[in-house]
Amino acid sequence: MKTLKLLMGFALTATLFTSCYVEDAVIVVDDPVPGINVNQLLNSYELWYVDVNETLGSGEVPFLQIAFTVSFRNGILYANNNLVGIGEQGNGFGIPIGVYDAYDGILDVNHDLDGFGTFDVFRIDNNTIELYNPSSDTSYFLNGYQRSNFDYDFVFYDNIHYFLQEYEAWEKTYTSEFGALDEFDNENYLQFVAGGNDIEFRSSQDANISNPSNIVWDFTGLYDVADVTGNFYLKYLTLDYDFFDNEVFELSVIDDGTIEILHADSGTVYEFAGKGYIEFLRQAPVAKGGESIKKSVVKKRKQKTAKKDNPRESTRS
């Protein structure tokens, strides 16, 4: 009899806890709380990592789609849109991209380029918020971190695919004396195109071109960056030329403006320096011929990967 009472007590307690949890979830997650101190919530973390892979809805908000992190500081909205300089630019906050006002569960943003946007703000858990944009019927999920415990290196190396797109061109500055002769010895410039299908590259045999806009691109194809097992800081770069065999390299980053690639077949080492840094969402990058490519950059900029310790990571396939 005593055992039965204990079991019934546990069942009742579980039911009560379940009911409280569901009721709390409905209040906090599904409906904005009138009078919620949104400013305090947004300022509780220095950086909000934008988990693009968790986005719900068929629309998009350009400034969130492109940002790796956003920060809310005294009415000024900051973002890390680039991997070049991440962790150092703006003391880790990135660049100012607009102004904001937060009140009664609402966040209003006036972006420097995209103009006004409004969001309903929901607290999901201790370090996760949802920003719901009614005009696009889209929700973005942001994970909070302090600068001291945010892994800038992880974000950088996990998104090198997009780092390569942050320069108008990469110029060959060094070729090793060792290694067999190969066709790639003749290539002097590479470009990894932002926008479009987001995996296109171009190469050129031009020499000593000071302005990247004047480079004549001789070859095109698709590129891929893949992990190297056991070495997070080393990647495989494959250049799939349209009419030639693939070229495979080991890719390493020397600094924010210099890469080294080791040609797998010949053993030759090359260094390339970035030319024409592109600061995303401050000025629209301009393609050859003067046509703005901002729209394609905003739409196709990234499907970036969340940090390892993201509490929602397990929901992705």
Tokens 């920060």 appear where? 71
Same fold, 32-157 and 161-300: yes
Give pLDDT tens digits for 10-26. Answer: 333 343 333 333 333 33
pLDDT of residue 198: 79
pLDDT of residue 94: 96
**pLDDT of 3 higher than 90:** no
281 in Cβ contact with 293 (< 8 Å): no
What's the topology of domain 161-300?
A: Lipocalin (2.40.128)
Cβ-Cβ contacts under 8 Å for 232 (sequence gap 6 or more): 157
Give pLDDT tens digits for 236-276. Answer: 999 999 877 899 999 999 999 999 999 999 999 999 999 99
Window from 86-90, 224-228, 244-248, 268-272 with minimum mean pLDDT = 244-248
What are the tokens at 75?
Answer: 């009415």
What is the percent of the chain where pLDDT is above 90?
71
Determine how many CB atoms are found less than 10 A away from the CB of residue 64: 23
194 in Cβ contact with 285 (< 8 Å): yes
Cβ-Cβ contacts under 8 Å for 159 (sequence gap 6 or more): 68, 83, 302, 304, 305
pLDDT confidence bin for 89, thresholds 50/70/90: very high
d(CA 317, CA 142): 19
Supply the mean pLDDT for the chain. Answer: 81
Total-model pTM: 0.74
Query: In the predicted model, what is the mean pLDDT of residues 61-78?
Result: 96
**pLDDT of 222 higher than 60:** yes
CATH C-level class of 32-157: mainly beta
pLDDT of residue 36: 54
Of the candidates 202, 206, 271, 270, the residue with the CA atom closest to the CA atom of residue 241: 202
pLDDT of residue 171: 98
The domain locations on the chain are 32-157, 161-300
d(CA 201, CA 163): 13
Give pLDDT tens digits for 164-183. Answer: 999 999 999 999 999 999 99
DSSP state of 27: I
